[in-house]
Amino acid sequence: MQRGDSLNSPFVPFSPNPSIQQGTPTSTPPLKHTLSSSTSSNLRYSSSRKSIYDRHLNRSQRSELSKASFAFLFGEMVQYAQKRVNGITDLEKKLNLHGYSIGQRLLELLLWREGRGAKRETRILGILQFITTTVYRSIFNKPADGLEKSRDNEDEYMLIDNDPMVNSYISVPKEMSQLNCAAFVAGIIEAVLDGCLFPGRVTAHSVPTEQLPAKTVFLIKFDESVIERESVLG
């Protein structure tokens, strides 16, 4: 079962990106071939001849989205995922996947918007601070509430959010109390980390306290290769 067996497929079968389905590997057609066939017009152009390349990337920078529309969309997203899975871990995985594709795009967009002096992050602390401030501010308009390093494990870090916006209109029944829909945001964080070559797993855990009943901790567990590299870099 593969998307696009034809020679014109732009689809590359091997990828670490979990949102691409695994299929049996086929030989990838030479690039020149794909490019020339794109000029044959089974492509439909909009009548004003405008494409996405004509939109400016800063156009949506200052625009805001109403919380209600997002809550509606997110609620539908959770319901959609729930119908197609059996089990809480699968549901969280699906939400993680949704967030993953957003995170990939957000990473590139945010660094592009920084302009000429943009710097890629090469250290763990750097990338975590980037996520806590820049990424969080661009999605939720406020930085995350805390960043901690685990005392027991070298490779675990915790990002704290006192009230994740995505959970504000989601009510979880008692039988599914382990579910935390902030798995969506965990997916975004995981994609940003993967894109900068800090592979790992990010999971969302609810740790309700008296004053903050919706407090969520994102547990970030890096792969060994990251810790090794970090120690080599000093």
Partner 1 sequence: MSFYFAIVGTKDNPIYEAEFGTSKQGGDGVARFREEQRSMNQFIVHSSLDIVEEVQWATPTMYMKCVDKFNNLQVSCFLTAGNIKFLLLHDQKADDAIRQFFTDVYDLYTKTLMNPFYEVDMRITSGVFDGKVKQAAKKYL
Closer residue to partner 1 in complex, CB, 121/190: 121
Q: Tell me the C-alpha distance between 172 and 28, whole Å.
A: 45
Choose which of 22, 38, 61, 89 interacts with partner 1 (CB under 8 A): 38
Q: Binding to partner 1 by residue 137, rule CB under 8 A?
A: no
Q: Give, in degrees to the nearest 5, the angle at Cα 20 between 58 and 108.
A: 20
x/- contact string, 94-113, with partner 1 (CB under 8 A)?
-------x--xx-xxxxxx-
166, burial (CB in 10 Å: exposed 0-12, middle 13-18, buried 19+): buried
Choose which of 34, 129, 133, 162 interacts with partner 1 (CB under 8 A): 34
Closer residue to partner 1 in complex, CB, 101/162: 101
Contacts of 79 (CB under 8 A, 6+ apart): none
Choose which of 116, 141, 173, 231 interacts with partner 1 (CB under 8 A): 116
- DSSP calls for 57-74: GGGGSS----HHHHHHHH
Q: Of 29-37, 68-76, 136-144, 204-212, which part binds partner 1 (CB under 8 A)?
A: 29-37
Closer residue to partner 1 in complex, CB, 2/122: 122
Closer residue to partner 1 in complex, CB, 15/153: 15
Q: In 3-state terms, what secondary structure has residue 175?
A: helix
Q: Binding to partner 1 by residue 209, rule CB under 8 A?
A: no
CA distance to 28, 68, 149, 219, per residue, from 159 (Å): 40, 26, 9, 7
Please, what is the minimum distance in Å from the beta carbon of residue 197 to partner 1? 6
Contacts of 36 (CB under 8 A, 6+ apart): none
Please, what is the minimum distance in Å from the beta carbon of residue 170 to partner 1? 23
Q: Binding to partner 1 by residue 16, rule CB under 8 A?
A: yes
